[in-house]
Amino acid sequence: MTTVLACPVCGGGLVMNTAAAVCASAHSFDRARSGYLNLLLSNKRQSAEPGDSPAMMASRRAFLQGGFYDGMADAANATVGEIVAGRSGSRAKGPTHVADLGCGEGYFTGRLSRALASAEPLGPVTYGVDISRPGTRMATAYSTDVHWIVASLHRSPFLPASLDVALSIFAPIDAADVRRVLRDDGALVTVTPGPDHLDALRIIIYTSVKPHPKTPTLMADDTYFEHTASTRVCYPIHIDSPVQIMNLLAMTPYYWHISRATKKAIEELSTLSLTVDVQINVFRPKARA
């Protein structure tokens, strides 16, 4: 397989086999028993287990498996699929490489991999990257066709100009690093909250609710990419399980910024009708300086 992974020690290309990934300088990284590859060096961690906790990942998995975000995921996969299909003639010498940056527990990445499976004769090579080791460990259960990797999104584990498409769903974006690893004719696809996303939940939490920006805050004044397309996906959902309502809250940033009284009010809800509203944005790299 074409080498696109970078050694976190020396930056050289990593060659993967069933047991490990090794670079030309003999730096070796063993695969975990569940199949993921840990490329986050211990001296680069800000805590013993950076990223979302196992409890948060479990809440996220339970909510996503309820299908509430499947419409959003299908639209994002269609956008990535169109980009991949449009590149089929330009990559005759090798497969397309697609990375989900901030894959969490893997639900979206697994669906993406299946959606892309028929896009090329052998299918694009798909990577799921997250800094959370518990989340990545959970992700391996979704697909053995995805290369699951523990790594930072601020120094993603790819060689320069090696990725064809990078996908970010509700994840932090390091525009400079994404530009570093994307090919000049590649694309960054982001899924970010639309103006009315989770409206009913936000009304409970905030006395004044402001619409979300149309493009990611970190990309608004970006000098690395050109915003070339945007699609709004908006549909209602109804949650009739108190457990699922709390699962949704636990997978949002709101969970960490609410009072005990507000949390208690949400815990007492038996049903909740709200809106899934997202912007699917396509960014194309600008010419390198």
Bridge partners for 281 per DSSP: 190, 230
Is the pLDDT at 46 greater than 80, yes or no?
A: no
How do residues 86-102 score in pLDDT, each as one tens digit? 876 555 557 899 999 99
The per-residue pLDDT for 17 is 84
Cβ atoms of 5 and 14 within 8 Å: the answer is yes
Cβ atoms of 152 and 46 within 8 Å: the answer is no
Please give the share of the chain, as a percent, with pLDDT higher than 70: 89
How do residues 171-228 score in pLDDT, each as one tens digit? 988 999 999 999 999 999 999 999 999 999 999 988 777 777 766 666 766 789 999 9
Q: Averaged over 145-172, what is the pLDDT?
A: 94
Sorted by where each begins, the domain ranges of the chain are 31-199+206-236+276-285
Q: Averaged over 143-147, what is the pLDDT?
A: 91
Is the pLDDT at 252 greater than 80, yes or no?
A: yes
Residues contacting residue 84 through CB under 8 Å, at least 6 positions apart: 96, 98, 116, 119, 120, 124, 164, 165
Q: Averaged over 239-252, what is the pLDDT?
A: 94
- The domain 31-199+206-236+276-285 belongs to what CATH superfamily? Vaccinia Virus protein VP39 (3.40.50.150)
Q: Averaged over 244-257, what is the pLDDT?
A: 90
User: Over the chain, what is the mean pLDDT?
Assistant: 88
DSSP 86-127: HTTTT-TTS--EEEEET-TTSHHHHHHHHHHTTTSSS--EEE
Distance CA 50, CA 132 (A): 6
The per-residue pLDDT for 47 is 46
How do residues 100-117 score in pLDDT, each as one tens digit? 999 999 999 999 999 998
Is the pLDDT at 155 greater than 50, yes or no?
A: yes
Tokens at residue 28, please? 């070796």
Distance CA 85, CA 88 (A): 5
Residue 156, CB-side half-sphere exposure with 13 Å CA sphere = 33
Tokens at residue 9, please? 């020690």
Q: Averaged over 61-81, what is the pLDDT?
A: 96
DSSP class of residue 147 equals E
Range with lowest mean pLDDT among 27-36, 84-93, 271-280: 84-93
